[in-house]
Amino acid sequence: MSQVHAINTTGDRGGLPQRVHLREVGPRDGFQNEPEVLATADKVALIEALARSGITRLEVTSFVRAEVIPQLADAAQVLRTLELPDAVSVSVLIPNERGLEQALLVRERFDEVNVFLSASEAHNRHNVNRSVDQSLDGIGRLLARAGDAGLRRQGTIATAFGCPYEGRVEPRRVFEIARALRDAGCEEIAFGDTTGMANPLQVADFFGGARAALGEQVELTAHFHNTRGQGLANVFAALQAGVTSFESSFGELGGCPSGGPDGQPATGNIATEDLVSMLHEMGVETGIDLDRLLDATRTVRDLLGRPLGSHVLTAGPVAWSAPRPA
Ligand code: ZN
């Protein structure tokens, strides 16, 4: 297990939580948005390697139509083949009822569903060709069926901090959508900075308001993108606002396929290695072994055959015992 350091002048953690939950979303958010299609056996080996690093929450795939996202056409096969410790909670992304039906054929192979919509009308229309209210209706039916199947339910709200089409998204509107998801059965709600528009002050305000608007029962998760290099700063702001659940992607894989009005993808989940390194250096526990995590990331880098965005993958973990550079 990697050493956890608490390097600051006072020896405390500045009010930060002692421990946080991380969900690794690279096998879904990453593989879905990278141009290459990895072989099923490679995906399975990577997911198992991620679990060996101590990650206990994994979003492994999505049940989407193969014509739309060929990268994830093997969702059922991935789930059937995976061998993971019982401690790992396996999540799948469900876009619609057809996807849920497909997923329920392998119900015994996963634990959680993640359903999603955008907070802004324009992004939601662009992404799923529905209004936000229409999406909420459909999601309500999905969540009811998933609940009947005994699945834990997560709802993700994209463009929660800003929309590439509409600009500012009012937190009040985001909380209204979040309450609808909570009332429809979500135990956890993730707020996505889908195109990397959030800044740390905004994040601090947002999560201060979110807890008050949503009560103590629902888990609030932050899903930041590093599109403009502010991903980890936003994590720090969220930590200070009391958030203890985060999502990230190994190697900084993935992003958003329908990012901006110009059609350019807004790449850049925050890299799990960078997130884990920062948290450990601040004395916040994750339960993840950074060296083993880096093994998994090196493997996916070698499979894809190109450099990845992760900083710690390039620099290596902080080595406090190393000699100071001259
Ligand atoms: Zn993402």
Within-domain flag for 3: no
pLDDT digits (tens, 9 = 90+) for 5-36: 544 555 567 789 999 999 999 999 988 887 78
| The pair of three-digit structure tokens given for residue 244, joined into one six-digit string | 């203890």
| The pair of three-digit structure tokens given for residue 119, joined into one six-digit string | 């907070």
Within-domain flag for 325: no
CATH number of residue 291's parent domain: 3.20.20.70
Chain-wide mean pLDDT for the chain?
A: 92
> What is the CA(158)–ligand 1 centre distance, in A?
9
pLDDT digits (tens, 9 = 90+) for 52-76: 999 999 999 999 988 888 899 999 9
Q: Please check the confidence at residue 192 and state whether its pLDDT lies above 80.
A: yes
Q: Can you give the pLDDT at residue 324? A: 64
Which one-letter DSSP state was computed for residue 124?
A: H
How many other β-carbons are positioned within 10 Å of the β-carbon of residue 89?
Answer: 17
Within-domain flag for 289: yes
> What is the CA(255)–ligand 1 centre distance, in A?
5
The number of folded domains in the chain is 1
**Smallest Cα–Cα separation from 91: which of 215, 209, 219, 198?**
219
> What is the CA(192)–ligand 1 centre distance, in A?
7
Within-domain flag for 242: yes
Within-domain flag for 323: no
Residues 103, 110 contacting (CB under 8 angstroms): yes
**Smallest Cα–Cα separation from 209: which of 230, 178, 168, 255?**
178
> What is the CA(194)–ligand 1 centre distance, in A?
6
Q: Please check the confidence at residue 253 and state whether its pLDDT lies above 80.
A: yes
pLDDT digits (tens, 9 = 90+) for 296-324: 999 999 999 989 999 999 999 998 876 66
How many other β-carbons are positioned within 10 Å of the β-carbon of residue 122?
Answer: 15
- The range of the structural domain enclosing residue 91 comes to 21-314
Within-domain flag for 1: no
- For residues 314, 22, 37, 41, the Cα torsion angle rounded to the nearest 10 degrees is 100
Strands 112-118 and 89-93: parallel
Within-domain flag for 75: yes
Bridge partners of 63? none
Q: Please check the confidence at residue 3 and state whether its pLDDT lies above 50.
A: no
Q: Can you give the pLDDT at residue 200? A: 98
- The residues that are catalytic are 256
How many angstroms separate the Cα of 39 from the Cα of each of 77, 102, 217, 302, 308? 11, 20, 40, 14, 19
> What is the CA(263)–ligand 1 centre distance, in A?
17
| Lowest mean pLDDT, pick from 118-132, 249-263, 278-292 | 249-263
Within-domain flag for 172: yes
| Report field, pTM of the whole predicted structure over 0.75 | yes
